[in-house]
Amino acid sequence: MERVIYKDKYPVLELDIAKTRTKARSVDEIIAALRQHIDGNPAIAYLGIFEHYAHTMSLGGAVADGVVDAKNLLFCFGKTIPDLTVLAVRPRSIGILDLGDHFHITFLEPPQDGVTRQLVSWCEALIED
């Protein structure tokens, strides 16, 4: 995964996966694979799917060239509320875009290194050598 700073302030992790390097054939199949990690951990709450592409198209909005589908998988890590600001970075979202020949996966870097490592491992597990 590559770490980028989006709009000069947001730390985002991104991963491109060629469709030739994964079993997944759709955004929904990527989501199903990621859901297994969420559903298998009692400390993570599954919240839902935001159909970003469908929503944007229904508004007549603009979509970047090449985007075939785009959805966000929504969930929340969290056994504590350690301070007054943490809710600003919860819940979590992983964005999954289908760009025809590959998937582009993104998420905002969590404030906890352990959570970041988990999310990176989930995404990288989608790749088959």
**Residues sharing a CB contact under 8 Å with residue 116, sequence separation 6 or more, in sequence order:** 13, 109, 110
What's the pLDDT tens digit per position in 10-65? 999 999 999 999 999 999 999 999 999 999 999 999 999 999 999 999 999 999 99
The C-alpha atoms of residue 126 and residue 20 are separated, in whole angstroms, by: 11
What's the pLDDT tens digit per position in 62-112? 999 999 999 999 999 878 899 999 889 899 999 999 999 999 999 999 988
> What's residue 93's pLDDT?
97
> What's residue 129's pLDDT?
77
> What's residue 78's pLDDT?
79
pTM value? 0.94
* pLDDT at position 8 over 90: yes
**Residues sharing a CB contact under 8 Å with residue 54, sequence separation 6 or more, in sequence order:** none
Q: For 112, what's the count of Cα atoms within 13 Å in the CB-facing half-sphere?
A: 15
